[in-house]
Every structure is written in C-alpha cells, then in structure tokens.
Amino acid sequence: MARFLIGTIPVVGHVGPAVPIALRLVERGHEVWWYTGQLFQPTVEATGAKFVPMVNALDYSIAANVPTAWIEQRNSRRGVAQLKFDLKHFFIDAAAGHVQDYRALLPAFPADVLISDSFFLGAAWVHEQTGLPWAQFGISALAISSRDTAPFGLGLPPSASWLGQLRNTSLHWLFQQVLLRDVLTYTNSIRASLGLPPTDQSFFDVVSPFLYLVGTVPLFEYPRHDLPAQIHFIGPFLPDPPSEFTPPIWWADLQTEQPVVHVTQGTVATEAEDLIVPTLQALASEPVLVVATTGGKPADALKLDPIPANARIESFIPYYHLLPYVDVMITNGGYNGVQMALAHGIPLVTAGKTEDKAEVSARVAWSGVGLDLKTKTPTPEQIKAAVQKLLNEPHYKANAAAIQAEIRRSDAPNRAVELLEQLADTKQPILRTV
C-alpha cells in the first residue's frame, strides 16, 4: 500500500472534488493524510483520511482569519485587477506557507505521492525541492495555455483556425508579458524566499508533469491539439448520496407536471440580489415552480416582499435529491454545480463574472448546453427570456443529455485511484494511450 498526501485550498469548491478520491484511496487500504483548512476537518475525517491543519499558511476557511484590509482591497477591484489580487494573496502567498508546512510534516509522513487541487501551488514547489511525484485534480475549467484557446479568464471561445491561433498567441503574450507580468514577478519573489530559482511559467500553466485529472468529460471542455499527454479526462467528481435527508414540507410540489427551475447563488459569490432575487421576479408569473437555494444564508434574508407564490426557498438542498426533478438550472457558473447539473442532463442559464465563472459560463454556451448571460447581475427580463428559450428549444436539452450519457460512462473516483496507484508504483508520468 502507498502513502498519499492531499493538499487543498481551504475553500469548498477545492475540497469537495477530493472527497471521493480520498474515500476510494482509504477503501483500497492506502494511508492518506489531508492538509487543508480547519473548517474542513470533519469532511476530511469522514473519508478516513488523517486531517493535517495549516500552521504557517493563512487558513482562510475561517473567515475571521482573513485581514479586513484584504477584503476591502479585493472588493474594490474588478476584472483582471481582482484576479491578480486573488492570485497573489490567496494562492501565491499561501503557497509559501504550504511549503513550510509540508517540509515539516514529510519526515513524519514520507508520502509516495503528493495530490493537490489545481490551484494549490505548494505541491508543485515541494516537488521541485524534493523530487516527490505530484498529481493534480482540476477544480475548474482547464486553464492551461494552448495555441487553440485564449488566456484563462477572458471567457472567449476556442479557435484553432490560423486567425484564431494568431488571436490566441497575441493574447497570451499580452497577458504574460504585460497584464500579469507583475504576478510573475511576485511569484518569483516568493520562490526566492524558499530557495527556488526564478520561473517564466504563469500561474495557470503550473501543471504536473506526472498526472493531471480533469473533472469533466471532453464534450464540455475546449479541444486542444497540443494537450499534454499526462492530462486525463475522467469525468466529474460527483459526491456520494448524503446519509440523511429530510425533505421540506413542500417536496410533493416537485412532482406536478409544471417545469421546475432551480436557481442557486453558489457557495462563494453569494449575494442573493445578483441572481436569486431577479430570478424570482422574472418567473413570478410564469407556469413554473422555482426552487431557490441561498448557499447557506437564511431563506428569510432575501430582500423581496412578497415572495412569489410559485417560489420555494431553502438555504440548502442536497443536489442528489433535488436535481432529478429540475428542468432548467440558473447558476452563477460554479464549476462543481454545473457538472452536477450536466450529470442529470439539465440545461443551464449562467450569469457570473468573478473567480473562474466567466470561463465556466463560456463553456456552457460553447458546448450548447445552455446560455451565458455574460453578466453577474442579469435583469429579470434577461432571465425570463433565457428560461423560456431553454424550455422551448429542445436542442439545449439534447446537448445536455449527450454530456449526461458521457458522464454516466465515466467513473471519476475509481479511475482517479487507478491512475494514482500507477503513479505511486512507477514514479513516472502516466500518459494517455489513445
């Protein structure tokens, strides 16, 4: 049996995909330690893995740990400026602490393989220092540079034509040499403090040379002629069914003939006024049932009075139970939520611009499974028109069903473990054979 050390950014969207991986590794008799934020200790321990807390790195799973000045500075920025702030302070700064913590714990737990989410930079740097094999799993759309795609963050569709490749090459140069140049300079200053040499590799191009697990199927992701061979599509990391669920008193309403529209604000950008409130307003007079989840906030916190008669609002409902009833999902483009909708063949309306959401939303439109409203604050009129379009034009549902069928043929947790076991045995890159 092998020893695996998992490291995840202390945010639910980074931790969640690792849960089924950890569960399967433990079930197969491997020893698993998992380094992440304190908030996720129960999640980690429920898999059978040993929880390892963050000591030298900022644990921002606990909101009180985040400096108020950071929040104010971040919220005052938009677009590329906000992206750069996040990369520097929530990922690159954190990576220095992750490296220190890893170097302290590896003597007690001499891991055979490091596993990290795709934004957890510390594992890459520990690999440079120690030579330990290192695997990644994606927590969002594939961000690696390609001649067939524009830089990650712009939300542009792919293009492999000569003109498209010229566009892509030019934009990559602009991003790396101009817009994000200071991020690379900042990265190299942190690397120097750890005794690492300077690099010219952008944050989004830090990809394990051993194994990268893409948490979706090829139909949803942009095609790339230059995709590295160690990158494997294994399907989404879907959670296991919850052990307990008590349906709300209105649950029988889902079983009528009227379409069900689900709207969610996600778990990070959770301002209900961005998406939930305009959706309830948009569909108040439509012959649909609207089920809204507020991302953990109290349902009575919505600034809308009265609540439409066709709306049902909860702070949280397990998707395992809700999504089989849903006909259209409206979301700000959180990657895991989109994958779960597609696993149920549900067409989507997306409206998100922060974090990675522009890229996820762009793939929803490109793959033909829904509509990207290209804003984080859509109007009720935009939402109403989009929902009507998805309900009335069957090709969106057909495209979502095609991805659903591909997802059903995948088995992400078991495939991930098979590949990780190969890496532990061989210590060599695990390359696609076809």
Domains 3-235+410-426 and 251-408 share a fold: yes
Structural tokens at position 318: 């397990």
Structural tokens at position 328: 């259209």
* Cα–Cα separations (whole angstroms), residue 162 to 142, 155, 158: 22, 20, 12
Write phi, then psi, for 349 (nearest 5 degrees).
-110, 125
Write phi, then psi, for 246 (nearest 5 degrees).
-110, 110
Give the residue extent of every domain in the chain.
Answer: 3-235+410-426, 251-408
**pLDDT score of 262:** 96
Q: Which residues in the chain come in under a pLDDT of 50?
A: none
Q: What's the CA gap between 237 and 117, in Å, rounded?
A: 12
Structural tokens at position 151: 């830089």
Q: What's the CA gap between 407 and 399, in Å, rounded?
A: 13
| Contacts with 195 (C-beta within 8 Å, 6 or more apart), sequence order | 129
**pLDDT score of 369:** 97
Evaluate whether the domain defined by 251-408 bears CATH number 3.40.50.300. Answer: no
Q: What's the CA gap between 363 and 366, in Å, rounded?
A: 5
Q: What's the CA gap between 205 and 295, in Å, rounded?
A: 31
**pLDDT score of 80:** 79
Structural tokens at position 329: 């999902």
Going 155 to 156 to 159 to 162, the CA torsion angle's sign is: negative
CA 342 centroid distance within chain: 14
Write phi, then psi, for 216 (nearest 5 degrees).
-160, -170
**pLDDT score of 110:** 96
Q: What's the CA gap between 265 and 161, in Å, rounded?
A: 36
Domain spanning 3-235+410-426: which superfamily?
Answer: Glycogen Phosphorylase B; (3.40.50.2000)
**pLDDT score of 299:** 66
Q: Do the strands 134-137 and 3-7 form a parallel or antiparallel pair, or are they unpaired?
A: unpaired
CB 10 within 8 A of CB 59: yes
Structural tokens at position 210: 């051993």
CB 292 within 8 A of CB 276: yes
Residue 287 burial (CB count, 10 A): 10
- DSSP 8-class letter at 257: S
